[in-house]
Structure formats: C-alpha cells, structure tokens
Chains A and B, each alone.
Chain A
Amino acid sequence: MYDGGKIIVGLLICLGFFLSPFFYNAGKAAKVPNPQLTEIAKEAQTCVMSKDYMTTSHFTLLDKWRNTVVRDGERYFKGENGKIYYKSLQMTCLKCHANKSKFCDQCHNYMDVNPYCWDCHIEPKESE
C-alpha cells in the first residue's frame, strides 16, 4: 500500500460515518410511540376521517380546514361517516384529543416533527 496510513484513516472516517446509526442506537431500548386516546375520544369511536388517513395525512386536513375557514369562512365539514363537524382545532380536534403530550407529541417527538399549530393557537392545558 502506498500512503497506507492516510488511506486507512480516510476509510475509517468513511466507515464511522456510515456505521454511525449502528453505534448510536446500540444498546438503547427501542421505544415506540404510543398515542393514548382520552375517554371522550374512545366514546366517539371514529375521528372525522378513517384512522389510516388520520395517521398519515391529518396535517393535510388541518391545512385544508385552516385555509377554508380563514379565507372562505366555511365552518362545516362532512366526515366520512356523514356526520357534520364544526371545523375548529380547538373546539373539535382538541375536544377529544385534549392530551397533547400523550397523543400529538408521541409521534411528533419520535419523528422530530415540529408543527406550527401553537404559533397561533393556545396549547391545551392538560389536567392530569
């Protein structure tokens, strides 16, 4: 090998970078997000849309709600089950999902998602 020392140092840096997730996660207990439903949510049984849609795309719905409410003044939304909902984060969404730290934050912290809901809205006060 020519310039072996430098090349081996370079290779070790490269390997260290690509293997860093293995080292970083080693020995840590895998913690999985566990969103909890409140009693009111359990009673209601269904959300405004299906669970699959809400898991992957609730932010799209919230964006649509925000824009139609703020810009067009449309306040009512017909859910998948035919029920009419009042479009409001604080009065509709947070009525059931009042437990932000045990519901929203579970996945958001796990995936490092930082929604800017609370730039304008007041964060729900959680009563234990």
Chain B
Amino acid sequence: MNFIISILFSGIAVSVIVLIPWICIGAIDGAFMRSLFGIIIPYAAIATFLIGIVVRVISWSRSPVPFRIPTTAGQEWSFPWIKSNPIDNPKGMGGVILRMIFEVLLFRSLFRNTRLEYLNDENGPKINYEWEKWLWLAALAFHYSFLVIFLRHFRFFLDPIPGFVHVLESLDGFMQLGIIPFNGFGMPGVYITDGLLLAAVTYLFVRRIYIHQVRYISLPADYFPLFIILGLGLTGVLMRYAIRVDITAVKELSISLFQFSPKVPDGIGVIFFIHLFLLCVLIAYFPFSKLMHMAGIFLSPTRNMANNNRFKRHVNPWNYPVKFHTYAAYEDEFREKMIEAGIPVDKGVEATSESGKKE
C-alpha cells in the first residue's frame, strides 16, 4: 500500500475516533451518552483487552517450538578453554533469564542494530556497518515514558494513593517549571515524561516516513497505533496544561468503575471523554495488533531458550509413536525368499531352526 494512503487511512481513522466522543458528548450530550462513553465503552474495552491477551497468548502457546534456535551474538559453551558468552549464548536457565531481562528492560536486540553504509574513499565504495542507535534510544524513551505515565495515572485509579505514585510524580516533575518567566505557563508541575513521550512518538513516526526502506514496509497497522498514542498524549497534555477538567470528578468516575458501582459525576469536560475514548480504542485494538509484542517478547524463541542443542536431547514435540520394523524382523519374515533369490542373510535357515529347537 502506498505510504500516503496508509497515513491518510490511519489519520482519518484516528480523527473519526476523536470526533465520535467530541460530537456525542460535546454536541448531543445527555445522561445516556455520558454513561455510554464513561461506563459501557470502558468496561467493554477492558474486557476485550484482558480476554484478548489471554486468548492470543494461549493460542500462541499451542504452537510447538521444535528446536533451540541459536541465532546469537556470542560464543557457545563448548570446552573450558574456549571463552564462551554466558548471556548472549546461554547454556542454562540463569543465562536465559539474564538475556530476557536485558531484552525486556533494555531492548538489547535493538541496541545491536546496525545500518549498512557505503563509505567512499579513493579506492571506491567500501561497506561499513554503522551502529544505528537512534531507534533504540527513541524506543527506550518511548516505552519508559509510557510506563511512567501509566503508573502515574494510578493516582486516578487507587484510593488511598500508594507511595510509589508519589515518588514517580516528584521525580518526573522535579523541574518545577512554574518559575520560568512565562507567568502561569509551567503550571501545574511539568512532567518530563509528557514531553519525552510526544517527542519519541514523533521521532518514531518521522523515522518511518524518512527512511525509505522502512516507509516501503509500513502499513496502516504501523501508523494507526502511533497516531492513536500521539492523540492520547496530546489530549492528556492539553487536559493538564490548557483545557482543564475537574480531576476530582474524573477520579470519582474511575474509582466507581473499579468498584463496579459506576456513576458518571457531572461537570467533566469533553476533552476527558476524547482522551478516555482514545484509550478504550487503543486497548480494545491491542490484542489484535502488533502491540501484542508486549506479551510476544516473552515468547521470542531466539531469546527465551538456552542453547543446549549439543548436550541435551530435544525430542520433536509433534513426533507420533513410529511403528518400527527392524532388519532382524524383516529377515525373519522373508528369509526363505531371500535365500531362494540368492540374497545373503545374517542367519541361515539351520541356525534359526536350531535356535528354535533349543527353545
């Protein structure tokens, strides 16, 4: 699909998703619309999210993993005098756990990303593998900002608010931009992750259309999650710094949802419903999309298995019991015919009859 069509398709889809609650709450409004967007859709989205993830992971777990796939960047363990790499090419569970921790928390595979380049010198072009770290950096910034923002939102989800939320908020907001010379601009406390998330998502989008190979393989399924997360971030930032809503009412709504006694308090602005609807679409879309890499990373066959092919027997899990017909049994069956045809046999007719007599 042409990349302009892909971007237009995803862009229009996200615009429609923004417009739906905008029109339904902003223009039509009413108790029904508010409970639809405040109660029914969030519950449906949470259910789709959780059930979808479980179903998807269980369906993955039904696929057999036949063999260890040693695509590694390190030397396998062999002899004590050959230096091996216990993390990149682990032989046991401990190394695998370390490798998974590095992969999940630090995106190690992405860290080793290289880009092929031609360096021109007087002898003509030379191949060079440039260490390409910007994708890794942006991915790390994006995922950790998202995690911190999600955990910060627990102040809306929990009552009383546990200490870790407070620690995150103070660390994230330590810049205290209220003192900058634009009066009333840096209030309330500006969070670093808000800007970082928007910057990282923008980078990930620009990268997709700037690098032509990546642009060629990008589909609406790649742009859509980016746009929806960008929309989510923008509405959140707008709601915090510009078009504010009564957040105590928002918290009353979310707590009532978590306590299964849903009630939408009056006076929550439209922008909150846009933000919430974007989130609902994101999490309902989650199990059907590439976003499932959240669970999939734990099931990466090249990362989560020890490379012990050479010293452990791995039986193909889809082997059925094979009915063997050994040569001895074959010879027993056709001995006379084989002798008749002049084919050499291991045991002659006499030997078999003698052994038969002995028995």
Residues of A within 8 A of B187 (CB): 59-60, 62-63
Q: Encode B71-101 as 1/0 by CB contact (under 8 A) with A.
A: 0000000000000000000000000000000
Prevailing SS type, chain B contact patch: helix
Q: Which residues in B have their C-beta under 8 angstroms from that of A64?
A: 183-184
* Contacts known (A68-B183, A114-B166); A2 close to B261, Cβ less than 8 A: no
Measured CA separation A2–B301 after assembly (Å): 12
Contact of B154 among A21, A62, A71 (CB under 8 A): A21
A113 to B50, CA, bound (A): 31
The proximity string for B residues 322-356 relative to A, scoring 1 for CB distances below 8 Å and 0 otherwise, is 00000000000000000000000000000000000
8 Å CB contact of B159 from A3, A28, A56, A61: A28
Which of chain A's residues have a CB closer than 8 A to the CB of B188? 59, 113
Q: Is the pair B161, A112 in contact by a Cβ cutoff of 8 Å?
A: yes
- The answer to whether the Cβ of B12 comes within 8 Å of any Cβ in the partner chain is no
For window 233-247 of chain B, which residues contact chain A by CB distance below 8 Å? 244-247
CB pair A15 B62 closer than 8 Å: no
Interface size range of chain A in the complex: 35 or more
Residue on A with the closest CB to B57? A11
Judging by beta carbons under 8 Å apart, are A110 and B248 in contact? Answer: yes
B124: which A residues are within 8 A, CB to CB?
Answer: none
Q: Are B246 and A55 in contact, with the CB atoms below 8 A? A: yes
Q: Is B158 touching A1 in the complex (CB atoms < 8 A)? A: no
Report the separation of the CA atoms of residues A67 and B49 in the bound assembly, to the nearest whole angstrom.
Answer: 46
Query: Is B155 part of the binding interface, using a Cβ–Cβ cutoff of 8 Å?
Result: yes
A22-B258, A111-B155 in contact; A60/B295 too (CB < 8 A)?
no
- Judge whether B157 and A67 touch: CB under 8 Å: no
Residues in B with CB closer than 8 Å to A118 are: none
Interface: B319 (CB within 8 A): no
Please state if B50 and A112 are interface contacts (CB–CB under 8 Å): no
Cβ of B321 within 8 Å of any chain A Cβ, yes or no, is no
Interface residues on B, range: 35 or more
**B53 contacts which chain A residues (CB < 8 A)?**
11, 14
Query: When each residue 1-18 of chain A gets 1 if its CB lies under 8 Å from chain B and 0 otherwise, what string results?
Result: 111100100110011001
Cross-chain contact B61 with A1 (CB below 8 angstroms): yes
Query: With A2-B65, A30-B256 known to touch, is A15 a contact of B246 (CB < 8 Å)?
Result: no
Smallest CB separation, A119 vs chain B (Å): 10
Bound-state Cα–Cα, A14 to B51, Å: 12
> Would A21 and B258 count as touching, CB distance under 8 A?
yes
**B154 with A1: CB separation less than 8 A:** no
Most buried by A among B65, B169, B184: B184
A3 to B258 CA separation, bound complex (whole angstroms): 33
- Which residues from 168 to 188 on chain B have a C-beta closer than 8 Å to any C-beta of chain A? 169-170, 176, 178-179, 181, 183-184, 186-188
Question: At the interface, yes or no: A25 with Cβ under 8 Å from chain B?
Answer: yes
Instruction: Tell me the bound Cα distance from A1 to B251 in angstroms.
Output: 41
For this complex, 13 residue pairs linking A to B, each with C-beta atoms less than 8 Å apart, are: A2-B63, A11-B53, A11-B58, A21-B157, A21-B258, A25-B157, A33-B248, A64-B184, A68-B183, A71-B181, A107-B248, A110-B248, A111-B161
Chain A interface residues toward B at CB < 8 A: 1-4, 7, 10-11, 14-15, 18-19, 21-22, 24-26, 28, 30-33, 55-57, 59-64, 67-68, 71, 107, 110-114, 116
Q: Top 5 A-B pairs ranked by shortest CB distance?
A: A56-B244, A21-B157, A60-B184, A64-B184, A112-B161
